[in-house]
Amino acid sequence: MVADFNKKEKGDFFNDKLLFKTVGIVFLVVICVLAVADFRIYQKKKELNLQISIYKKQIEDIKKSSQTLKAEIENSDNVDYLEKLGYEQLDQTRPGETEYMFVKSPEKTETVSKQNSFQNIGSWFGWIPKSLNWIKSKF
């Protein structure tokens, strides 16, 4: 009996093709799962970096306030500094000083006057005598 080694069986070809497809699908699923996990990690990293920057800013603010508090503690026995704080924070004035306050006058609303002028028909024709008087004044 002579064996033919070049001949393949039909069943082996389909089994190899099915195995190749299965491995390919599993590989694609693993790639998709890893991509989703990587995206979630990226989002979490962005959130954590944002929190870190917020905390760094808070630390800087606390350091600045700590320095000002230390300076105030050092100057707590200084009479001139205490007087300055009293005048600034308690709105006190020194003897002989006059305090002035500037108040901005409220602006008149033009919308009310415009509404009244549109409602009054006489005001529609009020420009005619004014323009005639202007022309007479020129001659």
pTM of the model: 0.42
For residues 19 and 13, the answer to whether their CB atoms sit within 8 Å is no
Helix (H, G, I), strand (E, B) or coil at 18: helix
Contacting residues for 97 by C-beta, under 8 A, at least 6 apart:
none
Q: In this structure, are residues 111 and 105 in contact, taking their beta carbons and an 8 Å threshold?
A: no
pLDDT digits (tens, 9 = 90+) for 59-114: 999 999 999 999 888 888 888 887 777 777 777 777 777 777 788 877 755 555 55
Percent of the chain whose pLDDT exceeds 70 = 74
